[in-house]
Amino acid sequence: MKESRYFKIQELVCPEVYRRYGEQAWMFIDPELIETLDMIREKIICKPMIVNNWNTGGSYTQRGLRCNICQLVKSKTNIDRLYLSAHNFGKAVDATIQGMSAEEARQLIIKNQILLPYPIRLEDGVSWLHLDVYDADKGKVYLFRV
């Protein structure tokens, strides 16, 4: 199983998944996302990136993999609404960076896109850094809006 050099599994999955699977939960995280995250953390952002922090007493639980009973997913299911977020498939994170705005982070990633091992999507116009490895076939970095 591929694991990250910078992130613990607790930072990338919700508490429900960690309680049930522990370290085995790495199997739910797309290896392309792990490689991309490590590259961005090490060579592009070069600062700590906060995804989930429930494990250290924070309130973020749904910023990495979202399971079927995570509130964001469950609420869509309850109203029969389709919800195919990359978060559902272990292909996305929402992150905040210490000492850097999400917009600065997006610009830095765009500027250094040659370093990215896979095509990524970034959500534009939001105050957090959403990055995922869905391949929209629109170049190395595709900026999308929900």
Residues that bind Zn ion (CB under 5 A): 14, 16, 67, 70
Q: Min. distance of Cβ 46 from Zn ion in angstroms?
A: 30
CA distance 140 to 72: 28
Contact indicator for 25, 102 with CB cutoff of 8 Å: no
Alpha carbon separation from 129 to 31, 43, 80, 106 (Å, rounded): 19, 16, 28, 7
Q: Min. distance of Cβ 21 from Zn ion in angstroms?
A: 11
59: left (phi over 0), alpha (psi -120 to 50) or beta: alpha
CA distance 52 to 60: 5
Of 51 and 109, which CB lies nearer to Zn ion in the complex structure?
A: 51
Q: Min. distance of Cβ 144 from Zn ion in angstroms?
A: 24
Contact indicator for 124, 73 with CB cutoff of 8 Å: no
Of 65 and 116, which CB lies nearer to Zn ion in the complex structure?
A: 65
Of 67 and 129, which CB lies nearer to Zn ion in the complex structure?
A: 67
Residue nearest to Zn ion as judged by C-beta position? 14
Q: Min. distance of Cβ 98 from Zn ion in angstroms?
A: 25
Of 15 and 31, which CB lies nearer to Zn ion in the complex structure?
A: 15
Q: Min. distance of Cβ 25 from Zn ion in angstroms?
A: 11
CA distance 27 to 51: 18
Of 67 and 122, which CB lies nearer to Zn ion in the complex structure?
A: 67
